[in-house]
Structure 1
Amino acid sequence: MLDRWTMPLTHRPLEWIAYRLKGRVTPGQVTFGAFLIGISALPLLAWEYYGLALAAILLNRLGDGLDGALARVSHQTSEAGGFLDIGLDFVFYAAAVLGFALANPADNAQAAALLLFAFIGTGTSFLAFAIAAKQQGVERPDFPQKAFYYLEGLTEGTETVMALVIFCLFPAHFPILATVFAAACLITTATRLWGGYWTLRRHEEQP
């Protein structure tokens, strides 16, 4: 929901950094580096080092935006890079939730399981629509810099990062916070399935 406003704000700073990294590292190296930093949040959360985990999460998100900016300024954009980026993103998100479950299984496991269930809904509805939209030639005017067609929803990248930050700042309240966010993700899944279906139907019916 917030990505349409936050993404334009981050575009110029990320491009500024990308120009200074151009020729020094490749977009793929940034993608893998950001993922390795992000996945370190899993053990850090399990060991309840929430401050360090938060730093790893934020650095991962910085790298997630930076790899695309670097690909654009160095003219190395590719479908393969976009696929790797989104695939590792979903692994990272799931790992962060698992970390909270491992930190306090008795209190957090049920809410973490619910949130992972909701993540499957948002992720599959996003990717399934992207595949169909690509095949049908449906354009993405709102997010032209994305490698995949970006189907909007109540919970997008910005909201997910905000949720992870809040989880780290208030870990004792993870069960209720994760449950609320899971409910928002399930709403996103429902609206994406409905909106995606009718978008494709209308496109198929066009002469």
Structure 2
Amino acid sequence: MLDAGARRIIDPPLNMLGRHVARTGIGANAVTLAGLALGLVAAGLIYADRPWLALLFLAISRLADGLDGAVARATAKTDFGGYLDIAADFLFYGAVPLAFVLNDPAANGAAGAFLLASFYFNATSFLGYAILAEKHDMETAAQGSKSLYFSNGILEGTETIAFFVLLCLLPGLFAPLAWVFGALCYATALLRIAAAHRIFTTTESP
């Protein structure tokens, strides 16, 4: 819901930084993998019961996640780069809740499982919608120039990162926060499916 507005704010400085990085010879895929590595370090720190330190790595990781696209735009965008970026994002999104569950399975297990299942469902609705949008030659740049069609929803990347920051600031509230955010993820996926039904349902000729 907030991604389009956030992109208008962060894209200009990211594009400028991306041009500088591109001139050093560092490729977009390398930035993607660095961002993923930093995100996994953040998850490891959460597991090690150091969520405040994890915030630093989480922030740098998400900076890299935005910067890889800027580097690609300054050089050459590739389909594989977009594929690698979304795969890295989903791994990071799953690693953070998993770290909270492993840190305290008794307190966080049920809520974490609910949250991860909601991520799985939401990701499926997102990727399925992108496939249908590609088939119907749909395009959008509302959330920046992307290799995949990014359909909007109640919860998007901006809200998810804000949620992860909140979890690191208030780790003792993981369970109630996870139940609420997971429910909103399910709602996002269901609304996306309803939109897909409205847009992509066609009657084939006999």
Letter in 2 for 1:50: P
Letter in 1 for 2:164: L
Match of 1:22 in 2: 22
Letter in 1 for 2:133: A
Letter in 2 for 1:6: A
Deviation at 1:55, TM superposition (A): 1.3
Deviation at 1:165, TM superposition (A): 0.2
The answer to whether the 8 Å contact 1:151/1:196 transfers is: no
> Gaps spanning 5+ residues in structure 1: where?
none
Does residue 10 of the first structure (1) align with residue 6 of the second (2)? no
Match of 1:65 in 2: 66
Does residue 35 of the first structure (1) align with residue 40 of the second (2)? no
Inter-partner Cα distance in structure 1 for 2:143 and 2:4: 8
Cα-to-partner distance string for 1:55-112 (whole Å, 9 max, x where unaligned): 11111111110000110012x1111100110011001000011000011111011111
Does residue 154 of the first structure (1) align with residue 154 of the second (2)? yes
Inter-partner Cα distance in structure 2 for 1:30 and 1:141: 22
Inter-partner Cα distance in structure 1 for 2:110 and 2:42: 20
Inter-partner Cα distance in structure 2 for 1:39 and 1:191: 30
Letter in 2 for 1:161: I
Identity %: 36
Letter in 2 for 1:180: V
Output the aligned Cα RMSD.
Answer: 1.4
The answer to whether the 8 Å contact 2:3/2:143 transfers is: no
Bigger Cα displacement from structure 2, 62-71 vs 12-21:
12-21
Match of 1:114 in 2: 114
Alignment of 1:29-108 (within 5 A): 29-74=30-75, 76-108=76-108
The answer to whether the 8 Å contact 2:3/2:157 transfers is: yes
Inter-partner Cα distance in structure 1 for 2:144 and 2:93: 24
> Gaps spanning 5+ residues in structure 2: where?
none
Q: 1:132 to 1:44 in 2, by over 3 A?
A: same
Please give the TM-score of this superposition, normalised by the length of structure 2.
0.94
Inter-partner Cα distance in structure 1 for 2:129 and 2:144: 16
Inter-partner Cα distance in structure 2 for 1:141 and 1:17: 20
Match of 2:174 in 1: 174
Total equivalences in the alignment:
203
The answer to whether the 8 Å contact 1:41/1:99 transfers is: no
- After TM superposition, what 4+ stretches of structure 1 lie above 2 angstroms from structure 2? 141-144
Please give the TM-score of this superposition, normalised by the length of structure 1.
0.94
